[in-house]
Amino acid sequence: MTFDRRNMIALVLGAGTLIAASSWVHHGIESAENGEIELTGQVTQAQLETHDERLVLLADGTAWTVDIGPLIDARSAGLTPEMLAPGNELTVLGQRDGDVGTLELRASAVIFGSTRHDLGSRSL
């Protein structure tokens, strides 16, 4: 196979396209990971007994699933199961799941009353 000028141009353009596409995908994911949102609402459900601790938070009439991480970490941050109980109002800060159709948030902090409890940054 001979490598003429047309093949070289096609190779260079193809490689450039792949590099540009991978860079765009990387930056799209990075901005989604770094975008923190804040939700305030009432806890309607709390699942705190397993290794998959989650709350359902009703914020502006929309139910969000909030992953608070391991309960031991939440307790270390000063949160108690009583604070996370249904009926309580919380403000949650964290990263939204990258899937647009999913209303799920991975919490990095929970505000109960006037006290902020930092859970640390955790990626999705």
> In the chain, which ranges are continuous DSSP H helix?
5-34, 71-76
Exposed (0-12), middle (13-18) or buried (19+): which is 83, by Cβ within 10 Å?
middle
Here the CATH number for the domain that contains residue 82 is 2.40.50.140
pLDDT tens digits, 49-58: 767 789 999 9
Higher-scoring residue by pLDDT: 9, 63: 63
Residue 13 and residue 44 share a domain: no
pLDDT on residue 21: 44
Number of domains within the chain: 2
Query: Which one has a higher pLDDT value, 65 or 19?
Result: 65
- 101 and 54 in a common domain: yes
Residue 124 lies in a domain: no
Residues 24 and 42 placed together within one structural domain of the fold: no
Q: Report residue 10 as tokens.
A: 């096609």
- pLDDT digit string, tens, across residues 21-56: 444 333 332 333 457 899 999 999 999 876 778 999
